[in-house]
Amino acid sequence: MASAHCLSSHYGFPGPNGKGYLSRLNQGKTQSFRVWACEKTAPARKQIEIVYDPDDKRNRWVDEAGKNSGLSRMTLFSPCKINVFLRITGKREDGYHDLASLFHVISLGDTLKFSLSPTKRKDHLSTNAPGVPIDDRNLIIKALNLYRKKTGSDNFFWIHLDKKVPTGAGLGGGSSNAATALWAANQFSGSPASEHELQEWSAEIGSDIPFFFSHGAAYCTGRGEIVRDIPSPFTSDLPMVLIKPKEACPTADVYKRLKLDQTSKVDPSSLLDKISVDGVSQDICVNDLEAPAFEVLPSLKRLKKRILAAGRGQYDAVFMSGSGSTLVGIGAPDPPQFIYDDEDYQDVFISEARFCTREAGSWYSQSVPAAATAL
């Protein structure tokens, strides 16, 4: 039954012959119905509450659909990533750019809830995030369509996306959602596809998706789809803070302003070697997309400078992830005080995070909580 604090609408009207009263409560898109029946002739009027909850009916359908497979529901953590360094090494004939980057999964992420659909006709996606498409433009739906195409599976799903990773952040939230959906679909089917096959297939719908089938740390090249697993060079207790302004950096706009003759000339493999030995430092965290992103969003450049100045050495490195607009501070879990005090940053997204990995044969879990705040 919907609780009072979740009540978004309440409509009442008399029942037949004035003997009853019906109340409808909306909780998101789910409706619960309460019916109070009362006898006028009774000396003391008694009310009997009858509850009809469509969620119960839907869950029974889901359980029925899962009888044959043994699995009807699944909830998975869908973590995001940061690029510890990101070199752009050239432009390809297909219009994409070659890159060389150290990707790492972190503890900030979304939650995806999957239920088998008994109709076997269409996937249904819902989310708490306004503006996120819920049709086949969403990478989750694309991933499920891809899985059915590759395997012949006839499973369709009800999916709810509880979004914590901001969009337009350079954190790969959508790519992670797609990888998580592929993993889930494979589990529901009894895991007929190998992790390597899922990884290869995923490159057909997004360059960053294959990375999430690594074990959490990988040196990625090509468009990002060539993934080389590496041991994580970081401990899980190394703190970081993510700071993302309200404004996004559209990836296409950033690449339009990229000038290859003005990118770093450092060998990316030497960055990987150095970080594996010495750990993270400002000179290692090179991102060739920072300069064009700062042209797209000059306020982001000013924010990075202020963080470096106000941090007074509390961060081992401050850098932008991906194509922006998230700035990462490694070495401390909190932003500088001015982020809280300055009205210019009242809409900034802030999250503490940690580096994380996964074990072979299992998906990621949020073993280290990440506290996220939107000021």
What pLDDT score was predicted for residue 40?
45
Q: How far is CA 93 from the centre of its chain?
A: 31
136 among known catalytic residues = no
Express each pLDDT in 197-229 by its tens digit. 999 999 999 999 999 999 999 999 999 999 999
Length of the chain: 375
Backbone angles phi, psi at 21, to 5 degrees: -145, 130
- Virtual torsion, Cα 355, 253, 129, 120, nearest 10 deg: -90
3-class DSSP state of 119: coil
Q: Where are the alpha helices (DSSP H) in 189-245?
A: 195-202
What does the alpha-carbon distance between residue 174 and residue 253 come to, in Å, rounded to a whole number?
A: 19
Express each pLDDT in 30-71 by its tens digit. 444 444 444 444 445 445 444 444 455 455 544 554 454 468
Alpha carbon separation from 179 to 41, 127, 167, 176 (Å, rounded): 62, 17, 16, 5
How would you write the pLDDT of the chain (375 residues) with one tens digit per residue?
333 333 233 333 344 444 343 333 333 444 444 444 444 444 454 454 444 444 554 555 445 544 544 689 999 999 999 999 999 999 999 889 999 999 999 999 999 999 999 888 999 999 999 999 999 999 999 999 999 999 999 999 999 999 999 999 999 999 999 999 999 999 999 999 999 999 999 999 999 999 999 999 999 999 999 999 999 999 999 999 999 999 999 999 999 999 999 999 999 999 999 999 999 999 999 999 999 999 999 999 999 999 999 978 899 999 999 999 999 999 999 999 999 999 999 899 999 999 999 999 999 998 755 566 666
Answer positive or negative: Cα dihedral of 218, 222, 226, 228: negative
Question: C-alpha angle with apex 174: 268 to 271, nearest 5 degrees?
Answer: 10
What pLDDT score was predicted for residue 135?
97
3-class DSSP state of 245: coil
What pLDDT score was predicted for residue 51?
45
Of the CA atoms within 13 Å of residue 242, those in its CB half-sphere come to: 33
81 among known catalytic residues = yes
Please identify which of the residues 110, 123, 208, 288 carries the catalytic annotation.
208
What percent of the residues of the chain are helix, what percent strand, and what percent coil, each to the nearest 5?
A: 30, 30, 40
What pLDDT score was predicted for residue 55?
53
What pLDDT score was predicted for residue 110?
98
Please identify which of the residues 81, 142, 150, 244 carries the catalytic annotation.
81
Annotate 18-51 with DSSP letters as a single string: G-EEEEEEEETTEEEEEEEE--TTSSS---EEEE
